[in-house]
C-alpha cells in the first residue's frame, strides 16, 4: 500500500471519528462543558473565595488548569474506547483488519480522533474559564505539548481498554475505578505541598499529577514537580502504549472471532 493510499485510509478514519462525536455533540461536547462550568462555580467561586490563595494565585486561577486537563483526559479516553469497542462489537473492525491498510495507520487514525475530541473539549472548557478568571499563558509551547502528549496517551489507553473489553460494561470499569480516582487525586484541586510527607510521596506515584502540574506550569508558571521529568515520563509511556497497541493489532488478540 503506497503512501497516497495510506493517507486516504488515515484521513478517512479521522473524518469518521470526528464526524462521529460532532454528530452527537449534545452527548459528547455539551455535558463536559456543563460539568466544568459547575466546577468553576462551586469550587472556584463559592469554595474558592473561602480558601483564598494557593501558591500565590487565587484558588480559581489554580484549579482552572487542572480542570482543563481533566476534561482533556476523560474525553480523549472515552472517545477511543467507545468508538473502537463499538467497531469491535459490530464486527466492522474485522473488515478494517483484513484490508491492506497498515495497522499503524489504523491505530493513528483512532488516536487522532481521540485527540481531536480531547482538544476540542479542552478548548471549549478553556473559553468557558475566561468567564470566571483572567487566564494568562506562561509558556504556550509547554501548554500545547503537554495537552497533545496527554491526549495521545489517554487515547492509546482507551484503545487498549477497548481491545480487552468483553462488554459495554467493561469499558466503564477503568474510567470509574482507575481514571476518576487518579484524576481527582492528581493535584487538580490542591497543591501536594499541603500534604504530609507520607501522602506527598504516595501522590508522586500518580501519573496524572505530572500531567496536571506540567500543564499548570505552562499556564501559571508554577509546579509541584520537575516539568522536564514529567515530559520525559509521559513521552516514555506514550511510546510503550503505542508499541503495545500495535502489538495487539498485529496479533489480532481479542479482535478476530
Q: What are phi and psi of 53, to 5 degrees?
A: -95, 160
pLDDT averaged over the chain? 89
Average pLDDT over residues 58-85: 92
Q: Are 165 and 257 in contact (CB under 8 A)?
A: no
DSSP 2: -
Q: Specify the 3-state DSSP secondary structure of 132.
A: coil
Lowest mean pLDDT among 124-133, 177-186, 247-256: 247-256
C-alpha cell at 36: 466544568
Residue 141 confidence (pLDDT): 94
What distance in Å separates the CA atoms of residue 21 and residue 91, rounded to the nearest whole number? 20
Picking from 53, 113, 106, the residue whose alpha carbon sits closest to that of residue 83 is 113
More confident call, 254 vs 102: 102
C-alpha cell at 182: 487518579
Residue 168 confidence (pLDDT): 82
Q: Angle 140-164/59-89 helices, nearest 10 degrees? A: 30
The domain spans of the chain are 3-251
Instruction: Write the pLDDT tens digit of every residue in 137-192.
Output: 899 999 999 999 999 999 999 999 999 988 888 888 888 888 888 888 888 888 88
Q: Considering the entire predicted model, what is its pTM?
A: 0.92
Q: How far is CA 223 from CA 63, 86, 94, 203, in A?
A: 13, 39, 45, 14
Question: Band of the pLDDT at 257, cuts 50, 70, 90?
Answer: low
Q: Percent of the chain beyond pLDDT 70?
A: 99
Residues whose CB is less than 8 angstroms from the CB of residue 237 and which lie 6 or more positions away in sequence, other chains included: 153, 207
Instruction: Write the pLDDT tens digit of every residue in 212-244.
Output: 999 999 999 998 888 999 999 999 999 999 999
DSSP 54: E
Amino acid at each position: 500500500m503506497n503512501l497516497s493510499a495510506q493517507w486516504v485510509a488515515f484521513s478517512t478514519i479521522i473524518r469518521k471519528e470526528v464526524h462521529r462525536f460532532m454528530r452527537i455533540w449534545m452527548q459528547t461536547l455539551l455535558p463536559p462543558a456543563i460539568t466544568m462550568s459547575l466546577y468553576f462555580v462551586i469550587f472556584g467561586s463559592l469554595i474558592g473565595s473561602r480558601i483564598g490563595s494557593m501558591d500565590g494565585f487565587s484558588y480559581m486561577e489554580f484549579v482552572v488548569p487542572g480542570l482543563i486537563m481533566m476534561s482533556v483526559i476523560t474525553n480523549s479516553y472515552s472517545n477511543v474506547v467507545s468508538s473502537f469497542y463499538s467497531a469491535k462489537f459490530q464486527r466492522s473492525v474485522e473488515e478494517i483488519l483484513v484490508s491492506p491498510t497498515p495497522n499503524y495507520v489504523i491505530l493513528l487514525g483512532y488516536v487522532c480522533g481521540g485527540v481531536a475530541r480531547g482538544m476540542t473539549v479542552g478548548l471549549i472548557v478553556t473559553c468557558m474559564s475566561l468567564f470566571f478568571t483572567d487566564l494568562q499563558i506562561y509558556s504556550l509551547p509547554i501548554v500545547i505539548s503537554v495537552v497533545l502528549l496527554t491526549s495521545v496517551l489517554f487515547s492509546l489507553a482507551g484503545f487498549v481498554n477497548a481491545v480487552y473489553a468483553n462488554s459495554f460494561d467493561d469499558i466503564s470499569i477503568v474510567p470509574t475505578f482507575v481514571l476518576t480516582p487518579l484524576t481527582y487525586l492528581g493535584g487538580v484541586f490542591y497543591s501536594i505541598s499541603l500534604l504530609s510527607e507520607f501522602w506527598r510521596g504516595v501522590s508522586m506515584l500518580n501519573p496524572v499529577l505530572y500531567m496536571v502540574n506540567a500543564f499548570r506550569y505552562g499556564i501559571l508558571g508554577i509546579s509541584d514537580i520537575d516539568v522536564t521529568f514529567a515530559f520525559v515520563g509521559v513521552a516514555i509511556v506514550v511510546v510503550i502504549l503505542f508499541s503495545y497497541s500495535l502489538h495487539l493489532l498485529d496479533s489480532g488478540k481479542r479482535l478476530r472471532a
